[in-house]
């Protein structure tokens, strides 16, 4: 059985710890991960998502990840220090293709130029409106 390098926990112990934290589909405020209902399978763990989302992530040209949302997509670069992270997606309003190239939290390139993120929920109301924030 493999163990995680940072905690020396077996995968089953790590999943149990995640479940014990209360991070489920009805996660408490501030919890950025959740499990599939009735299972110990991780659906999402910030900044990643276990299911396909509009935010496809590749690292050093290797695809294979999805981000929870557009803002989390930029945060993925902190998980891979010193490596180039590319996020491909589409504008949720008009469908125009979007691409952001990030390295160590710094946006190196964006297509089209001048990308702007927008959330139609005031920050103070995010916890009460997480699906829309």
Taking the model in full, what pTM does it have? 0.71
Helices (H) and strands (E) in the chain, counts: 2, 8
pLDDT tens, position by position, 81-104:
999 999 999 988 889 999 999 999
Task: Give the 3-state secondary structure percentages of the chain, helix then strand then coil, rounded to 5.
Answer: 20, 30, 50
Query: 115-122: which pairs have CB atoms within 8 A and are 24 or more residues apart?
Result: 117/70, 117/71
> Which domains are seen in the chain, by residue range?
1-45 (no CATH), 46-133 (3.30.450.410)
Upper half-sphere CA count for residue 115 (Cβ side, 13 Å): 23
pLDDT single digits (tens) 33-73:
777 777 767 788 888 888 899 999 999 999 999 998 888 88
């Amino acid at each position: 059985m493999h163990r995680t390098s940072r905690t020396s926990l077996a995968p089953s112990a790590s999943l149990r710890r995640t479940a014990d934290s209360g991070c489920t589909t009805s996660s408490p405020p501030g919890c950025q991960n959740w499990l599939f209902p009735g299972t110990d399978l991780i659906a999402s763990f910030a900044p990643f998502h276990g299911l396909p989302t509009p935010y496809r992530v590749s690292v050093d040209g290797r695809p294979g990840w999805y981000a929870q949302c557009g803002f989390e997509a930029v945060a993925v670069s902190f998980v891979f220090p010193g490596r180039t992270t590319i996020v491909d997606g589409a504008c949720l309003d008009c469908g125009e293709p979007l691409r952001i190239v990030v390295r160590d939290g710094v946006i190196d390139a964006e297509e089209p130029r001048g990308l702007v993120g927008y959330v139609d929920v005031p920050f103070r109301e995010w916890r009460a409106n997480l699906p829309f924030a």
